[in-house]
Chain A
């Protein structure tokens, strides 16, 4: 059994790890780094609960091997907050009560983060499309969609300042 040496950036911090060839990024984040904000849902690429950003793109960490992201930059839900200050997306999800049980929320927010990084002023349709990778079984989708639109507005405001 040959371990694979990987060097990954997670939320701005560098990690040098020896991982098993079959270890997923999700397992490494949760079990080795203790970053349990990213959730295991279906494990098949259908629910989006494990969504993280790799080099700015939303991907599924349950269907990505840790060995595949060697040399890459990973952003998880834990990397959004700046000190005590929530990210505009997190703040908007709170304000809009877009969270009920919360299991899908980190994945939704990371899918939205990748969207807002490339589109500063997305239409509602574009937001719905971006969130179509993420299943929610409690609140539905209206509040998360509105929260993302709110966050986009806030982030544009911050940009102009």
Chain B
């Protein structure tokens, strides 16, 4: 049986060195941040570990155009950050508070969670409804892309061998926005991954819906937007009946599979329940919405 036996361990001092290391070792290199996914998976093909803890990527900052979170910011930092405590950005800390255990959250990082690209990941959903972007740095420079375009397949991202995720950017939303995150687990306090998870964001003037975002997890190979359901809501007056119709639409456009945690049919039903609850909470959190 092959073992996890990397031969080299580097802690680069800048991004240039980091991307150079990643490109020279190619697929045999692996970035290590919190280690809470890597040291569980322990992939035997890894020959070189690139520790990014010296790159000063552990920040959460308020900038003119939004909130920037460094890839190595730990989940406990995000959970307790005052910058992420106001509506609708608190959907990020809300999602984080339901991830794994407090001790794991002391170690795990936002970049690691995104790059692990689990179909059931929680944090990407919250970031997706806030229309976040990610900054990727490679040998030839940096690029910025929408987080929804970052995932390619189960545990696979669009990152090239020399590339590193360095920052998440959350643009400021309109003041009248509200967002919510919901997660269904076998036991609501357990460490387990989501059977289904969902995040939603609504921007409402009184009851008129200016914008809607719905992101679903554990129902496809990657986190996805429920675009049909979003279109149902935008430009309409939001009431409980419309929320129910959007939830049904989200359930219909989801494509879950049967696995050890739940059947596809159960997942589809639960998408409806979670999206309905998340939309109602989002509408309430917009501030001006009347049921």
Contacts and interface: CB of A to CB of B under 8 A. Distances in A.
Interface of A: 1-2, 4, 21-22, 24, 44-46, 48, 51, 57-60, 62-65, 67-68, 70, 111, 129-130, 132-134
Contacts of B32: 65, 68
Contacts of B35: 63-65, 68
Contacts of B36: 45, 60, 63
A124 to B, nearest CB: 15
Nearest to B46: A22
Mostly, the B contact residues are: loop
B191 to A, nearest CB: 6
Interface stretch (B5-13, B130-138, B223-231, B273-281): B5-13
A130 B102 contact: yes
B9 A63 contact: no
A46 B36 CA distance: 10
The 6 closest A-B pairs by CB, nearest first: A133-B101, A133-B103, A21-B9, A63-B39, A21-B6, A4-B9
B9 A45 contact: no
Nearest to B42: A22
Given A63-B39, A63-B107, A64-B39, 4 more contacts: A21-B8, A45-B100, A57-B106, A60-B107
Interface residues of B, number: 25
B107 A44 contact: no
Contacts of B234: none
A58 B8 CA distance: 27
25 contacts: A1-B7, A2-B7, A2-B8, A4-B9, A21-B7, A21-B8, A21-B49, A22-B4, A22-B6, A24-B39, A45-B36, A45-B40, A45-B103, A51-B103, A57-B106, A58-B106, A60-B103, A60-B104, A63-B104, A64-B35, A68-B35, A68-B53, A132-B101, A132-B102, A133-B101
A67 B53 CA distance: 11
B189 A132 contact: yes
B51 interface: yes
A59 B6 contact: no
B51 A58 contact: no
Nearest to A62: B39
Contacts, number: 74
Interface in B85-103: 100-103
A45 B39 CA distance: 9
A134 B49 CA distance: 29
A48 B39 contact: no
B22 to A, nearest CB: 16
B192 to A, nearest CB: 9
Interface string B88-132: 000000000000111110110000000000000000000000000
Contact of A67 (B4, B51, B104, B189): B51
A65 B11 CA distance: 13
A123 B70 CA distance: 32
B180 to A, nearest CB: 21
Contact of B102 (A21, A62, A70, A129): A129
Nearest to A6: B9
Nearest to A128: B189
B34 to A, nearest CB: 8
Contacts of A48: 101, 103
Contacts of B107: 59-60, 63-64
B5 A22 contact: yes
A133 B4 contact: no
Contacts of B40: 44-45, 63
Given A60-B103, A68-B32, A46 B191 contact: yes
A24 B106 CA distance: 17
Contacts of A22: 4-6
Contact of A45 (B5, B11, B104): B104
Interface string B186-216: 0001010000000000000000000000000
B9 A133 contact: no
Contacts of B6: 21-22
